[in-house]
Amino acid sequence: METKLQMASYAVEALSDTVIRNYIIQVEVADRVIRVWYYDRCGIMNSTAIDIFSVDFAIVIFCFMRFRDEDWGFFPNPIRPGAIFDLDNGITVKLVDFIEPHRYYGLVGRCTNVLTATSDEFPDTALIVKASFQPRTRLPREAEVIDQLKARLPDKHDNLPTVYGSKVIPVTSSFRTGLPALARYLQELRDLVIMLCQPLNAITSLETVEMFKKAFCDIVRCVYIIECSCLN
């Protein structure tokens, strides 16, 4: 059990230290057998025991020798300071640095990270990028939800961010797609969603009780609209 916990802790570190990996592959060695472990933001899988003197072991090593970076789970263009992305609306954004209080530490989940950013289209505007792994079936996306909320609540813009663009990066995993028999045991795949918007101040920065009441009521109205499935 100690070995499994140690391997899981390595996986958590690798998946939490910037968004550069989609999944992690590790090999557990015990006496003359190995087990291949696979970790992603949907869960964990492992192989049966493989004898190091068997043909199966040779096949595993041969496969590992032919792996490309993306086969090891690396993103071609990872979310990290200095990365440049073209959003779906054509806006180019450059990531600057992580905002530390908003970094996610964990294995399964959205792995939400927030970074400061710049864009030539908005040279004098403070910008942030929110990157998160969202369930593939979660529709509409967050940027669309915000736009529809603004249309329904035109007087509540002070407490809703201005979204300048977004991009959905499909996440693929040959391990999961190649094992359809396990599909019913696995959570659905998540895609990487990045959203460019303006930063908002913390609710603790509000100076008066009336300002807090207004912000709180705005939040309740937005949640009510979403929960009542008014966004189509």
Looking at residue 129, what is its pLDDT? 93
User: What digits encode the pLDDT tens for the residues 69-97?
Assistant: 888 888 877 888 888 989 999 999 999 98
- The residue type found at 208 is T
Average pLDDT over every residue of 44-53: 90
Which pTM does this prediction carry? 0.76
Average pLDDT, the chain: 83
pLDDT tens digits, residue range 128-177? Answer: 999 888 888 777 888 888 888 888 777 766 778 889 999 998 877 767 66
Number of residues written out for the chain: 232
Contact 83, 94 (CB under 8 A): yes
Domain boundaries in the chain? 2-74, 77-202, 203-232
Tell whether domain 77-202 is in CATH 1.10.10.
no
Q: Is 129 left (phi over 0), alpha (psi -120 to 50) or beta?
A: beta
How wide is the angle at C-alpha 132 spanned by C-alphas 129 and 133, nearest 5°? 155
